[in-house]
Chain A
Amino acid sequence: MLHQQKLRFSTTGRGTYDITKQISEAIEKSGIKSGICHIFLQHTSASLILCENADNTVREDLNAYMSRLVKDGDSLYKHKVEGLDDMAAHIRTVLTQSSLSIPVHKGKSDLGLWQGIFLWEHRTNSHKRNIAITIMGE
């Protein structure tokens, strides 16, 4: 059995956005009880991560780490057509994930107690982000 749908999110600049609820709703809507949920972000300057969901400052710190690891406007970059955050956003995406697979168990996402699914916007301005969800199972 297969269920496929798209989700669309509006971001308001660099940072993480909790999408766990929307993914859980898609899994419940699919009627699939046991299987795999594949989440695919159709962009190259934003990414997907699983991260602890209890304390928002954890993800603020992740941003701080990433900003130090991948510097905006580094003189190394040739690609800067859309600004100082342009190439950095592509690198940040490659270092994280464009797709995640989550087990589906008893009709729900089988996440750990403190795991949440986050869309990580790497651009500093607002964007519309599309996610394709495919749920396979029975």
Chain B
Amino acid sequence: MIFQDTIELASQEKGATDITELISTIVQESKINTGTCQLFVQNSFSSLLITDTADEETKDQTIDFLAQLAPSCDNVSNVINKSMDAIPEEMRSAITQTTISFPVKRGKPALGAWQGIYLWERTTQPKKRNLTITIIGE
């Protein structure tokens, strides 16, 4: 059995937003009890992260660290016909995840007790983001 949907996430603020509950609801609505759920974002300016939910600081510090690996307005970049944040964002996208998969067990995401799913939005202008969710199972 396959469930597939593309959802439009309302304007996201810059930073990491917890989307675990939203995804859990969709998994439960799919009626699939056992299987694999895949999430996919269709752009280079946001990523998917699975990280600690216990302390808000964890995800904020994680994205700060990742952002510093590809600093903005960097002189490494040759591309001048794009906005200054385009290239660092491609690099941040390349070293994080555009797609994640996790198990579905008893009709729910089988995440660890402290794992949450986050959308890391990196544009300064909040944007609507398309997220495709595909669940395969029975």
Question: Chain A: residues with CB nearer than 8 A to chain B?
Answer: 34-36, 49-52, 55, 57-62, 64-66, 68-69, 95-97, 100-105, 110-115, 120, 136-138
Contact = CB atoms under 8 A, between A and B. Distances in A.
Interface of B: 2, 4, 6, 36, 38, 40-44, 69-70, 74, 76-79, 81-82, 86-88, 90-91, 93-95, 97-99, 101, 130, 132, 134, 136
Given A35-B134, A61-B78, A95-B95, 10 more contacts: A35-B136, A36-B36, A36-B134, A57-B79, A62-B91, A64-B76, A100-B99, A101-B101, A112-B130, A136-B136
Interface of chain A, main secondary structure:
mixed
Interface centre among B77, B94, B101, B136, by most chain A C-beta atoms within 10 angstroms, is B94
A101 B41 CA distance: 11
Contacts of A64: 76-78
Given A62-B91, A101-B99, A115-B44, A137 B79 contact: no
Contact of A114 (B44, B76, B77): B44
Contacts of B94: 49, 51, 62, 66, 96, 120
